[in-house]
């Protein structure tokens, strides 16, 4: 064995990766054959060596599955070493050879009863790892025995095996009652068994967030705390993590748990320490701050955190990321420990940067002198990245600790004197921030800064310098010269610098109008005429117009007092911080992201929150609604166990627990900057003699043109258009074609007729016409400079359309229409451009239909069906919001199988059910069913109980979410009751509204 292993080594050492794989792929069948012979040898030693060789080949990725039967044959042996090797092999290949794996079952079952506990445990461990469905049923009996085995080693292995089995077949585990046995194991006498039972239960509970599996009550907590003292370190981690999920009833219980967890802080294993810190940080929230114990606890937390910093750099980094969170939440813990965060010259750069960040967070008046001295040293080091951060940190200190600002500024000036290029640039960037925090205080340094103008080559530094010159233009004698020097290479600058230069020169002009007129004109024309950048052009035009219409207003706008920048920058948002504190010691705390952001299939992921002492003591855990709305919930099919109707009778019809708050309507879009210019622009457009006439956002980069001479739109002659439409035989289905290619807007004269055609084509295939809400005014003319838009949404043969009437109530022609949607709940987006082919003359109205797709970007809106739209024409951009009926999103294939419906209904937890009343509806159940079907709400079954008709209905949204409904109609009673169940309960409100509108119209 040694010989061939040596050979293997040598081959690997001499060859590169390429030759390695070559060496292995070219192995002949002969080798397999040889191994086969050896495996069937009579000599135990030879067999063992052969199995070892097989496993070696397996490790390097060679396929040795052909040897499966031969290896399995070696299984029946009393040599433990050989047995272990065979089991190792089995685990790897059982999945690809399920039929063969069955062959091994008998041996497994036999081994589970072996006298040697090692073999019993080995068998049960391996069986659980073989993910072959067929094997699971054989596993149950041996597992049951092993869970009650007299040997703790076997029991602890069996406990983990339950988790394995649950992953393969959850139902089986529940049916067999293993979960109860597992719960009993929490009270086992052996701490290792307790630890594994807790780990297994935690994992199972995670996949069933609503189950009460790990029922944490004071008794179990007590048991866990007792086990904590005896368990291995790894077991302690499971137990502590489990404890962290518990919410104590009151502060006394919190305190007593804290007291019992505190000794873990001095454990040598950092994972234990961090898990203990997590428990303490969480339970500390419940303690009143005036309690003596609270102070004691705070003191106890510091040393273990400091200790973590003496570990290897990897652990240090992870620890620092956690400390960063803790410091943001409770800076008092480490306020006296500033020195441990001073960097060592041999720290890896990522540790240095993290330490720097924490230093700033801990900086206060008390220690600022020490911190500044340190930072100044760092700023002269060699590592460029680190030096830059250090210089930035000095600036952050100045902003954070007001008393130190002066010293910081002088430190920065010292650093500028070194003339090291990147130090100077960083210093200028942070000095700009200091000016923004303490305006009019440190202008004396400007002269020094100006000396270094030449050496600035990074956009951020140039932009900062230009900002300073512009802001303090009145105190800099040669400000115009300085800015002019930048202007020479205007087009080579980055956008950031260009924008800053534009603003600075306008500021300069407003401050010293007499001598800088030429300069401002130069920059305005550079920005508006010679640039392709829309931001720059827009800003240029705004300034231009402001300056030309009302210089006083311009002064007010441009030279307005700026808000001070806030003290602490880049703090983590408080709710996220709270959540992250609950995840101390996990990956979330390293990424500084909630687990839902990086754990796939966040089925069990729950947002954790801290519970504070002021609260009721209930844990505030809410299911992750954000991801539920997007994720599809595939219905699970379970075999039918009888009559559907009978089963439905047993459905849990408990009244809903919550219906959610009523949606707040019409959250209008902010017009933001546009308002600023409102009146002035109007008057400008009205009066053409005003110089310079500026159309906003025309797509022509040419010189400004009067608005009515806008470039002509792509032109189709009406006859051509008519021919296309008329010639298309199947109008309804025609919409299935790529929408971009469709003529989607029509000219006024032919629009009426075509609309009729559409209705016929679209409605033809359905038993009952789809309900189309009447058009309502979305954008009133007075808000949009004479453009009035009214519209509605239609779904025809699977295509969603937005139908609009555009009415020009202004005095001038409108053209150049375009449309855009904001991100919305279901990803609605225009499938093609808004095609309005001819300009709309005054008092003309035009119909336009815009096909929509549902593949756009998604963002949850409030209310859910809210859609924010921007429409542009040659005059301006207008914003409005409208609500679409959710039935637009119901798919034609939304009819669920009966069995699937039944299973899904049961599967969706009751919390997700909402109940509503529909009042004053005088349809009978059949009529209602027909009517609803027109909107793709399908009735799956109907049942009559005591004069009450129950309709079971399903619908499917475009993003794959199923909504199940039960509609109860009582003859003679105009009030319907509807229960909705959905995995994303937020849609229920919308769906209900939709029911109401459809049924009442």
Partner 1 sequence: MISQLFILSSKGDNLIYKDSSVRGEAGSDVINVFYEKVTALPGDQPPVVMNHGDLHFVHVRQGGLYWVATTTADSSPFSIIEFLNRLASLVKDYCGDLTEKAVQMNFALIYELLDEVVDYGYVQSMSSDVLKNFIQTEAVSPRPFSLFQLSNVGLFGAETQQSKVAPSSAASRPIQSSREQGGKSEIFVDVIERMSVVIGSNGVLMKADVEGEIKVKCYMPNCSEMRIGLNEEFSIGKSQLRGYGAAVRVDEVSFHQAVKLDEFDSSRILRLSPSQGEQTVMQYQLSDVLPSAPPFRLFPTIERDSGGKLLMYLKLRCDLPPKSAAINLCASIPVPKGSVSMSLELSSPDQSAELKLQSRSIEWTIPRFPGGTQLSALFKVEVPGLSPSSLMEVGPMVLNFELPKLTVSGLQVRFLRLSPVQPGPAQRWVRYVTHSDSYILRI
Q: In terms of CB distance, is 423 or 787 closer to partner 1?
A: 423
Smallest separation (angstroms) from partner 1 to the CB of 824: 27
Instruction: Tell me the C-alpha to C-alpha distance, in Å, between residue 790 and each of 26, 68, 519, 781, 882.
Output: 73, 72, 47, 10, 10
Q: Tokens at residue 9, please?
A: 């080594």
Smallest separation (angstroms) from partner 1 to the CB of 52: 5
Q: Which of 290, 492, 573, 600 binds partner 1 (CB under 8 A)?
A: 600
Contact status, residue 507 vs residue 473, Cβ threshold 8 Å: yes
Nearest Cα to Cα of residue 236 among 285, 274, 179: 274
Spell out the residues 6+ positions from residue 15 whose beta carbon is closer than 8 angstroms to its own: 22, 23
Instruction: Tell me the C-alpha to C-alpha distance, in Å, between residue 365 and each of 517, 798, 854.
Output: 47, 66, 55
Q: In terms of CB distance, is 86 or 982 closer to partner 1?
A: 86
Q: Is 23 in the site for partner 1 (CB under 8 A)?
A: no
The answer, yes or no, to whether the previous bond of 870 is cis (omega within 30 of 0) is no
Interior angle at CA 520, CA 515 and CA 522, nearest 5: 115
Q: Is 282 in the site for partner 1 (CB under 8 A)?
A: no
Contact status, residue 391 vs residue 425, Cβ threshold 8 Å: no
Q: What is the DSSP string of 862-920?
A: SSTTEEEEEEE-SS-EEEEEEE--GGGGB-TT-PPPHHHHHHHHHHS-GGGEEEEEE-S
> Which range of residues in 123-131, 211-219, 892-900, 910-918 is near partner 1 by CB under 8 A?
123-131
Q: Which of 25, 59, 217, 641 binds partner 1 (CB under 8 A)?
A: 59
Strands 829-830 and 622-623: unpaired
- The footprint of partner 1 on this chain (CB under 8 A) covers a number of residues equal to 98
Q: Which of 149, 203, 426, 579 binds partner 1 (CB under 8 A)?
A: 203
Contact status, residue 993 vs residue 978, Cβ threshold 8 Å: no
Contact status, residue 624 vs residue 607, Cβ threshold 8 Å: yes
- Per residue, what are the HEC states of 528-565? HHCCCCHHHHHHHHHHHHHHHHCHHHHHHHHCCCCCCC
Q: Which of 41, 46, 73, 91 binds partner 1 (CB under 8 A)?
A: 91
Three-class DSSP category at 585 = coil
> Which range of residues in 591-599, 703-711, 777-785, 851-859 is near partner 1 by CB under 8 A?
591-599
Spell out the residues 6+ positions from residue 564 whose beta carbon is closer than 8 angstroms to its own: 436, 437, 439
* Polymer length of the chain: 1001
Smallest separation (angstroms) from partner 1 to the CB of 266: 5
Spell out the residues 6+ positions from residue 503 whose beta carbon is closer than 8 angstroms to its own: 467, 470, 539, 543, 558
Site for partner 1 in 627-646 (CB under 8 A): none
Smallest separation (angstroms) from partner 1 to the CB of 397: 18
Q: Tokens at residue 667, please?
A: 């959250």
Q: Is 25 in the site for partner 1 (CB under 8 A)?
A: no
Smallest separation (angstroms) from partner 1 to the CB of 810: 53
Q: Is 711 in the site for partner 1 (CB under 8 A)?
A: no
Contact status, residue 917 vs residue 934, Cβ threshold 8 Å: no
Q: Is 572 in the site for partner 1 (CB under 8 A)?
A: no
> Which range of residues in 136-144, 594-602, 822-830, 869-877 is near partner 1 by CB under 8 A?
594-602
Query: How far is the C-alpha of 683 from the C-alpha of 163, rounded, in Å?
Result: 74
Q: Is 233 in the site for partner 1 (CB under 8 A)?
A: yes
> Which range of residues in 78-86, 428-436, 696-704, 842-850 is near partner 1 by CB under 8 A?
78-86
Nearest Cα to Cα of residue 128 among 169, 97, 174, 96: 169
Q: Which of 143, 224, 239, 318 binds partner 1 (CB under 8 A)?
A: 318
Spell out the residues 6+ positions from residue 200 whose beta carbon is closer than 8 angstroms to its own: 159, 160, 162, 163, 166, 182
Q: Is 377 in the site for partner 1 (CB under 8 A)?
A: yes
Q: In terms of CB distance, is 372 or 918 closer to partner 1?
A: 372
Q: Tokens at residue 86, please?
A: 């065979």
Residue 521 has phi, psi (to 5 degrees) of -65, -40
Site for partner 1 in 601-630 (CB under 8 A): 605
Smallest separation (angstroms) from partner 1 to the CB of 106: 22
Q: Which of 113, 385, 406, 477 binds partner 1 (CB under 8 A)?
A: 385
Q: Which of 36, 267, 437, 943 binds partner 1 (CB under 8 A)?
A: 267
Smallest separation (angstroms) from partner 1 to the CB of 154: 12
Q: What is the DSSP string of 178-246?
A: HHHHHHHHTT-SSHHHHHHHHHHHHHHHHHSTTS--S---HHHHHHHHHHHHHS-HHHHHHHHHHHTT-
Site for partner 1 in 821-840 (CB under 8 A): none
Q: In terms of CB distance, is 585 or 885 closer to partner 1?
A: 585
Spell out the residues 6+ positions from residue 670 whose beta carbon is closer than 8 angstroms to its own: none
Q: Is 270 in the site for partner 1 (CB under 8 A)?
A: yes
Q: Is 485 in the site for partner 1 (CB under 8 A)?
A: no
Site for partner 1 in 144-183 (CB under 8 A): 156-157, 160-161, 163-164, 167
Site for partner 1 in 336-355 (CB under 8 A): 339-340, 342, 344-350, 353
Q: Is 527 in the site for partner 1 (CB under 8 A)?
A: no
Q: In terms of CB distance, is 259 or 314 closer to partner 1?
A: 314
Q: Is 118 in the site for partner 1 (CB under 8 A)?
A: yes
Q: In terms of CB distance, is 584 or 967 closer to partner 1?
A: 584
Q: In terms of CB distance, is 228 or 964 closer to partner 1?
A: 228
Q: Which of 50, 85, 424, 969 binds partner 1 (CB under 8 A)?
A: 85
Q: In terms of CB distance, is 161 or 628 closer to partner 1?
A: 161
Torsion angle defined by CA atoms of residues 929, 931, 935 and 938, in that order, rounded to the nearest 10 degrees: 10
Q: Which of 599, 637, 673, 859 binds partner 1 (CB under 8 A)?
A: 599
Q: Which of 303, 331, 668, 678 binds partner 1 (CB under 8 A)?
A: 303
Site for partner 1 in 400-439 (CB under 8 A): 414, 417-420
Q: In terms of CB distance, is 472 or 591 closer to partner 1?
A: 591
Q: Is 2 in the site for partner 1 (CB under 8 A)?
A: yes
Biggest CA pair distance of the chain: 108
Query: How far is the C-alpha of 117 from the C-alpha of 121, rounded, in Å?
Result: 6
Distance of CA 489 to the CA centre of its chain: 42
Q: Is 682 in the site for partner 1 (CB under 8 A)?
A: no
For residue 866, what are the β-bridge partners?
Answer: 883
Q: Which of 66, 88, 450, 487 binds partner 1 (CB under 8 A)?
A: 88
The residue behind tokens 């397999």 is 32
Three-class DSSP category at 23 = helix
Smallest separation (angstroms) from partner 1 to the CB of 211: 18
Nearest Cα to Cα of residue 815 among 753, 871, 763: 871
Q: Is 585 in the site for partner 1 (CB under 8 A)?
A: yes
Q: Which of 34, 63, 78, 81 binds partner 1 (CB under 8 A)?
A: 81
Query: How far is the C-alpha of 213 from the C-alpha of 194, rounded, in Å?
Result: 15
Q: Is 559 in the site for partner 1 (CB under 8 A)?
A: no
Q: Which of 23, 138, 234, 438 binds partner 1 (CB under 8 A)?
A: 234
Q: Is 317 in the site for partner 1 (CB under 8 A)?
A: yes
For residue 850, what are the β-bridge partners?
Answer: 802
Interior angle at CA 122, CA 117 and CA 126, nearest 5: 155
Site for partner 1 in 924-953 (CB under 8 A): none
Q: In terms of CB distance, is 275 or 824 closer to partner 1?
A: 275
> Which range of residues in 263-271, 551-559, 618-626, 680-688 is near partner 1 by CB under 8 A?
263-271
Q: Which of 36, 131, 809, 872 binds partner 1 (CB under 8 A)?
A: 131
Query: How far is the C-alpha of 597 from the C-alpha of 150, rounded, in Å?
Result: 44
> Which range of residues in 266-274, 728-736, 899-907, 944-952 is near partner 1 by CB under 8 A?
266-274
Three-class DSSP category at 824 = strand
Smallest separation (angstroms) from partner 1 to the CB of 414: 8
């Amino acid at each position: 064995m040694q010989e061939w292993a040596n050979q293997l080594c040598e081959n690997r050492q001499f060859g590169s990766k390429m030759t390695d794989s070559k060496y292995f792929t070219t192995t002949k069948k002969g080798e397999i054959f040889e191994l086969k012979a050896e495996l069937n040898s009579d000599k135990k030693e030879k067999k063992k060596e052969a199995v070892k060789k097989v496993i070696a080949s397996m490790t390097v990725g060679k396929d040795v599955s052909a040897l499966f039967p031969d290896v399995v044959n070696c299984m029946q042996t009393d040599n433990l070493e050989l047995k272990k090797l065979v089991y190792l092999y089995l685990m790897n290949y059982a999945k690809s050879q399920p039929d063969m794996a069955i062959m091994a079952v008998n041996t497994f079952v036999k081994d589970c009863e072996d006298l040697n506990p090692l073999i019993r445990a080995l068998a049960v461990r391996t069986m659980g790892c073989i993910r072959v469905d067929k094997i699971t049923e054989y596993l149950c009996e041996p597992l049951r025995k092993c869970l009650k085995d007299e040997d703790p080693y076997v029991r602890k292995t069996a406990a983990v095996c339950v988790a394995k089995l649950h992953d393969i077949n959850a139902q089986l585990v529940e049916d067999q009652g293993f979960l109860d046995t597992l719960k009993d194991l929490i009270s086992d006498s052996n701490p290792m068994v307790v630890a594994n039972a807790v780990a297994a239960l935690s994992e199972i509970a995670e996949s069933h967030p609503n189950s009460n599996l790990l029922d944490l009550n004071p008794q179990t907590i007590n048991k866990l705390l007792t086990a904590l003292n005896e368990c291995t370190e790894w077991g302690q981690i499971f137990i502590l993590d489990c404890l962290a999920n518990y919410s104590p009833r009151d502060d006394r219980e919190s305190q007593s748990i804290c007291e019992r967890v505190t000794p873990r802080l001095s454990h040598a294993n950092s994972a234990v320490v961090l898990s203990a810190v997590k428990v303490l940080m969480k339970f500390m929230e419940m303690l009143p701050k005036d309690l003596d114990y609270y102070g004691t606890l705070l003191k106890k937390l510091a040393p273990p955190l400091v200790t973590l910093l003496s570990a290897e750099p990897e652990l240090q980094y992870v620890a620092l990321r956690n400390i960063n969170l803790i410091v943001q939440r409770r800076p008092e813990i480490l306020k006296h420990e500033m020195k441990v965060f001073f960097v060592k010259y041999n720290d890896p750069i990522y540790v240095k940067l993290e330490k720097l960040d924490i230093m700033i967070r801990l900086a206060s008046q008390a220690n600022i002198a020490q911190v500044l001295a340190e930072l100044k040293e760092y700023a002269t080091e060699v590592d460029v990245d680190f030096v830059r951060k250090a210089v930035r940190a000095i600036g952050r200190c100045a902003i954070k600790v007001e008393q130190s600002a002066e010293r910081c500024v002088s430190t920065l000036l010292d650093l500028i004197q070194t003339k090291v290029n990147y130090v100077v640039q960083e210093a200028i960037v942070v000095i700009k921030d200091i000016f923004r925090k303490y305006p009019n205080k440190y202008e004396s340094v400007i002269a020094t800064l100006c000396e270094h103008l030449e050496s600035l080559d990074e956009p951020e530094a140039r932009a900062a310098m230009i900002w300073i010159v512009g802001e303090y233009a009145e105190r800099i004698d040669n400000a115009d010269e300085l800015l002019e020097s930048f202007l020479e290479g205007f087009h080579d600058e980055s956008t950031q610098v260009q924008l800053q230069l534009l603003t600075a020169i306008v500021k300069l002009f407003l401050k010293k109008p007499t001598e800088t007129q030429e300069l401002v004109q130069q920059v305005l024309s550079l920005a508006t005429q010679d640039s392709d950048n829309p931001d720059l052009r827009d800003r240029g035009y705004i300034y231009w117009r402001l300056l030309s219409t009302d210089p006083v207003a311009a002064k007010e706008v441009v030279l307005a007092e700026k808000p001070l920048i806030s003290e602490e920058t880049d703090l983590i948002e408080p709710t996220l911080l709270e959540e992250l504190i609950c995840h101390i010691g996990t990956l979330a705390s390293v990424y500084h992201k909630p687990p839902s952001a990086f754990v796939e299939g966040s089925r069990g992921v729950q947002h954790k929150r801290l519970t504070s002492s002021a609260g009721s003591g209930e844990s505030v855990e809410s299911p992750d609604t954000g991801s539920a709305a997007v994720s599809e919930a595939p219905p699970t099919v379970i075999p039918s166990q009888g009559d559907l109707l009978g089963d439905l009778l047993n459905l849990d019809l408990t009244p809903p627990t919550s219906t959610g708050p009523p949606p707040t309507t019409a959250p209008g879009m902010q017009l933001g900057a546009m308002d600023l210019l409102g009146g002035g622009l109007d008057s400008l457009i009205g009066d053409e003699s005003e110089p310079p006439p500026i159309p906003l956002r025309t797509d022509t980069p040419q010189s400004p043109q009067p608005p009515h001479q806008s470039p002509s739109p792509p032109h189709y002659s009406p006859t051509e258009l008519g021919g296309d439409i008329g010639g298309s035989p199947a109008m309804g289905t025609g919409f299935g074609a790529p929408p971009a290619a469709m003529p989607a807007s029509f000219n006024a004269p032919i629009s009426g007729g075509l609309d009729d055609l559409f209705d016929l084509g679209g409605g033809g295939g359905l038993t009952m016409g789809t309900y189309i809400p009447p058009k309502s005014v979305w954008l009133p003319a007075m808000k949009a400079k004479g453009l009035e838009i009214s519209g509605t949404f239609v779904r025809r043969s699977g295509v969603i359309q937005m139908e609009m009437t555009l009415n020009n109530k202004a005095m001038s022609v409108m053209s150049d229409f375009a449309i855009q949607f904001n991100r919305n709940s279901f990803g609605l987006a225009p499938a093609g451009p808004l095609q309005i082919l001819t300009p709309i003359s005054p008092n003309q109205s035009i119909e336009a239909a815009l096909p929509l797709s549902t593949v756009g970007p998604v963002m949850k809106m409030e209310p859910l069906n809210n859609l924010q739209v921007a429409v542009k024409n040659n005059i301006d951009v207008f914003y409005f919001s409208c609500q679409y009926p959710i039935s637009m999103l119901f798919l034609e294939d939304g009819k669920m199988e009966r069995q699937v419906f039944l299973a899904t209904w049961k599967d969706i937890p009751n919390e997700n059910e909402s109940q509503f009343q529909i009042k004053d509806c005088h349809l009978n159940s059949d009529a209602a069913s027909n009517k609803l079907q027109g909107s793709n709400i399908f009735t799956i079954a109907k049942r009559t109980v005591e004069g009450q008709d129950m309709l079971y209905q399903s619908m499917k949204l475009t993003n794959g979410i199923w909504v199940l409904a039960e509609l109860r109609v009582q003859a003679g009673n105009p009030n319907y009751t509807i229960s909705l169940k959905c995995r994303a309960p937020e849609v229920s409100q919308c769906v209900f509204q939709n029911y109401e509108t459809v049924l009442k119209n």
